[in-house]
Structure 1
Amino acid sequence: MKFYMTPGSCSTGIHIILEELEEVFEAHIVNLPAGDHFKPDYVAINPKSTIPALVRPDGTTLTEVVSIAYWLARSRGRGRLWPGETEAETRALETMVYVVSTLHGQGFARLFATPTFAASPGDRAKVEALGRDIIQQGFSILDRALEGRDYVAGPFSAADPILFYVEFWAEKTGIALPSNLAAHYRRMLERPVVRRVLREEGYNLALLGVEQSRPN
């Protein structure tokens, strides 16, 4: 398989899933600031000009975080990263869709791509403030849903790396996580695969929450 990704983006969640499944794949970096996603070679693979994209063994391409996560979790690794019961499966999908559509698409997007949402430079502070409000409200909702759970759907599943990438963004942007999400974030950072992926994507683990919580 060929995986088109940008380090530190939403594709990090898919990167973690691929590694947790011990998949063999080629990683191709798409430099978003340089406009690689609009270049003809990439548009031929993904006409949406978004990341991530996954070219499967049969040559077909999957786009969209939730679709890729769902296909990988159900179809690869004997389905071990997808919940086996309907209720858990539904909760996993519910969380992934909410993360991508609301926390990412409406919240963090206002922080990372403020000019897209602001008609004039004078509106940018309001746009960013609204983004932070959306994120904090969304985190509060997900925090309640995680009450009494180590992971989103009970056992570790594909939903957890998707939740992780916005928790990771929260740390990068100085947004505090409520207690259950903070515990989930630390739990994810303790997973060897997550640590390896972050190193591969160029991050210093000593600067992340899990290292700060350890005694010297």
Structure 2
Amino acid sequence: MKFYMTPGSCSTGIHIILEELEEVFEAYIVNLPGGDQFKPDYLAINPKSTIPTLVRKDGTSLTEVQAIAYWLGRTHPRAKLIPDDIEAETRIVEAMAFIVGTIHGQGFARIFATPTFTKNEADHDNVRAFGRELVEKCFGILDTQLAGKDYLVGTFSIADPILFYVEFWADKLAIPLPANLLAHYKRMLGRRAVQGVLREEGYNLSTLGQQQQA
């Protein structure tokens, strides 16, 4: 398979799942600031101009973080990254939709891609402030869901690497993580696959989590 990714982005969550599954794949870096996502070669495999993209062994492309994560979990049943219990599986889908659609798409997007929400530069600070406020509110919701659990549905699943990438962003921006999310983030940082992915993507593990209170 071929995996099109950008280090430190939402594709990091999928990268972690691939490594957790010990899947063999070729990685291709998409330079978003350089406009790689709009080039004809990339548009041919993903006309949405988004990342990540997973080109599967049959040559078909799969896009959208939740869809790729779900497909990987379903096609590797022995890894048990999707529980057999329908309630737990539904909660995984619910969590991924909330993380990608709201925390990422409505919260962090306002911080990272402010001009896409308003062209008026005078409003940019307010847009970013609202994005941060939304992220913190949503973190509070997930923190409650994590109470008494090591991972989102109890055992490690495809949803946890997806949660990890927004926790990672919060760490980089010095946005405080509530206690349960912080414990989850540190637990994820201790996983071998996560450590390997972060090294491959160019991050110094010793600097991560330092801006978060114990």
TM-score (norm 2): 0.97
Partner of 1:201: 201
Worse-matched range after superposition: 4-13 or 75-84: 75-84
Checking the alignment, whether the CA contact within 8 Å between 1:114 and 1:128 is kept in structure 2 is yes
After TM superposition, what 4+ stretches of structure 1 lie above 4 angstroms from structure 2? 210-214
Identity %: 67
SS in 2 for 1:209: coil
Checking the alignment, whether the CA contact within 8 Å between 2:177 and 2:212 is kept in structure 1 is no
Residue 179 (structure 1) shift: 0.3
Residue 83 (structure 1) shift: 1.2
Query: 2 CA distance for matches of 1:135 and 1:186?
Result: 19
Query: 1 CA distance for matches of 2:115 and 2:212?
Result: 34
Query: 1 CA distance for matches of 2:193 and 2:98?
Result: 24
In structure 2, the CA distance between the partners of 1:17 and 1:210, relative to structure 1 (3 Å rule), is: farther
Letter of the 1:44 partner, please give it: A
Letter of the 1:15 partner, please give it: H
In structure 2, the CA distance between the partners of 1:136 and 1:21, relative to structure 1 (3 Å rule), is: same
Question: What does residue range 109-148 of structure 1 map to in structure 2 within 5 Å?
Answer: 109-148=109-148
Partner of 2:13: 13
Letter of the 2:196 partner, please give it: R
Deviation track 1:142-196 (CA, whole Å, cap 9, x = no partner) reads 0001111100111101100000000000001110000000000000000011001
Worse-matched range after superposition: 196-205 or 114-123: 114-123
Letter of the 2:71 partner, please give it: W
Residue 119 (structure 1) shift: 2.5
Partner of 2:92: 92
Q: Which runs of 5+ in 1 are unaligned?
A: none
TM-score (norm 1): 0.96
Partner of 2:60: 60
Checking the alignment, whether the CA contact within 8 Å between 1:189 and 1:210 is kept in structure 2 is no
Query: 2 CA distance for matches of 1:68 and 1:79?
Result: 16
Query: 1 CA distance for matches of 2:139 and 2:128?
Result: 16
Partner of 2:188: 188
Query: 2 CA distance for matches of 1:4 and 1:133?
Result: 31
Partner of 2:171: 171
Deviation track 1:36-80 (CA, whole Å, cap 9, x = no partner) reads 000000000000000000011111110000000000011125352
Partner of 2:157: 157
Q: CA RMSD in A?
A: 1.6
Partner of 1:78: 78
Residue 212 (structure 1) shift: 8.7
In structure 2, the CA distance between the partners of 1:210 and 1:124, relative to structure 1 (3 Å rule), is: closer
Residue 140 (structure 1) shift: 0.4
Query: 1 CA distance for matches of 2:126 and 2:154?
Result: 38
Letter of the 1:153 partner, please give it: V
Letter of the 1:192 partner, please give it: R
Letter of the 2:141 partner, please give it: I
Query: 1 CA distance for matches of 2:61 and 2:152?
Result: 27
In structure 2, the CA distance between the partners of 1:114 and 1:201, relative to structure 1 (3 Å rule), is: same
Residue 211 (structure 1) shift: 11
Query: 1 CA distance for matches of 2:201 and 2:122?
Result: 35
